[in-house]
Structure 1
Amino acid sequence: MDIAGILFDKDGTLFDFGATWNGWAATVIGELAQGDTDRARALADAARFDLEAQQFHPDSPVIAGTNREAAECLASALPNRSLTEIEALLTEKAALAPLAPAVDLVPFLTSLAGRGLRLGVMTNDTEYAAHAHLGAVGVAGHFDFIAGFDSGFGAKPAPEPLLAFARAMNLAPGQVAMVGDSAHDLIAGRAAGMRTVGVLTGLAQAHELAPLADVVLPDIGHLPAWLGH
């Protein structure tokens, strides 16, 4: 397989989505609601978050959306707070999220780099949060390219941020595999002319990802076997 570069999504791919973000979201909603149960319910409804089950609904726009889009969802239930203020708060809080790596990332990424693969991350989160999260688990230095929706290349499902990775690595798009847990990731990968790998550490089910993916894997730990070299 002529794969020379792998571009990872972050949340739901490098990190298990539910284990990382469900408890975090419940805490943030509680802080924003300031003890007002009706406001908490409105915030949860806007974000498609189940307060009783303490988890996101699979159709939540927050899952694959940008930080800005998440702020826009919550702003509808916070008429007295500016969108800019909410967005800044989410950026600050997201950088402190309790991370749950999908696999032991240091040996995993070291092994991939040892194969001569160029590695990157493209997330619809902020670039600030991406660096904070990857740095917190000691793997920021394992990546040749780290970009967020605000890095100047655009956001998924557009192909432009993926193509920026290919250009930066001097690779043809067909030499790159886009690995992600959402349709946004895989649509972007297909549009960019890349191989697409779905993983099941987000909220999407295999049957949702399969039509957009060359392969659907339980988690990123199964990538080496798929690469086959």
Structure 2
Amino acid sequence: MSLRADAVLFDKDGTLFEFGATWDAWGRKTLMALSGGDAALMTALAQASGFDLVNQHFTADSPVIAGTNRQAAECLASALPHRSADEVEAHLLGTADDAPLVQAVPLLPLLSDLRALGLALGVMTNDAEAAARIHLRKAGVEQQFAFIAGFDSGHGAKPDPAPLLAFSTATGIAPARIVMVGDSEHDLVAGRGAGMQTVAVLTGPIREDRLAPHADVVLPDIGHLPSWLAA
């Protein structure tokens, strides 16, 4: 079988895992903890982080969706006069393990099938690498990936293409033969900048009309990836 690519690099949140189902409940719990029950402070934190308190979800423009842990911490710290960004970041990292991971599709069979096709697989997330490994381990798929990197792995963060090119270097596969799969503009802009093929998925909060200009194709979820790769 002839495939479009020799490797696939995935974003994590919103791509491998449903963003809303995984992170919205965690977001409300985090804002409640940081606000200490102060309603005005809760509102300020929600505004700073792009969290809709009425509908209980992160908005499509939230810096939490595609930003790094540090960027999320800095946004929240801006509404916390007595907490530093370092303290807030430590809180985010310490509670991320509690997020209820909801797989976008059953991951193990999908990733096993992709590897059986001879594809090298990787993950590049703007989350911390340690947190990413914990989430992938909990899902039982950490060993499916030849490359796992976070914003703190020394390669940079999306939308910079540098961490994507680090995957190309690690695998020895040319960027043009790699597919970058993600749910945000950051993922796709980084992919285009790296000279990779780009696939958008709709398992995050960002709508198709915003993703399509940066993607070679928009898929409902990563479960449709094998058929697109083989088309």
Give the shorter-chain TM-score range: over 0.9
For 1:151, the equivalent position in structure 2 comes to 153
- The superposition leaves residues 135-166 of structure 1 with CA deviations (integer Å, 9 ceiling, x where unpaired) of 11110011000000000000000000000001
SS of 1:63's equivalent in the other structure is: helix
Q: Could you tell which deviates more after superposition, 52-61 or 175-184? A: 52-61
CA distance in 1, matches of 2:226, 2:173: 20
For 1:94, the equivalent position in structure 2 comes to 96
CA distance in 1, matches of 2:14, 2:4: 26
- The superposition leaves residues 15-69 of structure 1 with CA deviations (integer Å, 9 ceiling, x where unpaired) of 0001101110000000111111111111001001011211011111111000000
CA distance in 2, matches of 1:92, 1:122: 20
What is the CA distance between 1:2 and its match in structure 2? 3.8
CA distance in 2, matches of 1:5, 1:209: 21
Q: Which runs of 5+ in 2 are unaligned?
A: none
CA distance in 1, matches of 2:90, 2:130: 11
**One-letter amino acid of the structure 2 residue matched with residue 197 of structure 1:** V
For 2:73, the equivalent position in structure 1 comes to 71
SS of 1:177's equivalent in the other structure is: strand
Q: Are 1:161 and 2:167 counterparts?
A: no
What is the CA distance between 1:96 and its match in structure 2? 2.0
For 2:48, the equivalent position in structure 1 comes to 46
RMSD of aligned Cα (Å): 0.8
**Match for 1:225 among 220, 224, 227?**
227
**One-letter amino acid of the structure 2 residue matched with residue 92 of structure 1:** G
CA distance in 1, matches of 2:5, 2:193: 17
For 1:201, the equivalent position in structure 2 comes to 203
For 2:216, the equivalent position in structure 1 comes to 214
Contact in 2 for aligned 1:6/1:118 (Cα 8 Å): yes
CA distance in 2, matches of 1:89, 1:128: 14
Matched positions, count:
229
Q: Are 1:175 and 2:177 counterparts?
A: yes
CA distance in 1, matches of 2:181, 2:59: 22
For 1:19, the equivalent position in structure 2 comes to 21
Contact in 2 for aligned 1:157/1:185 (Cα 8 Å): yes
Q: Which runs of 5+ in 1 are unaligned?
A: none
CA distance in 1, matches of 2:101, 2:57: 16
For 1:113, the equivalent position in structure 2 comes to 115
What is the CA distance between 1:101 and its match in structure 2? 0.5
CA distance in 2, matches of 1:96, 1:191: 34
Contact in 2 for aligned 1:95/1:128 (Cα 8 Å): no
Contact in 1 for aligned 2:10/2:181 (Cα 8 Å): yes
What is the CA distance between 1:85 and its match in structure 2? 1.0
TM-score, normalised by the number of residues in structure 2: 0.97
What is the CA distance between 1:95 and its match in structure 2? 2.2
CA distance in 2, matches of 1:136, 1:2: 30
Contact in 1 for aligned 2:4/2:230 (Cα 8 Å): no
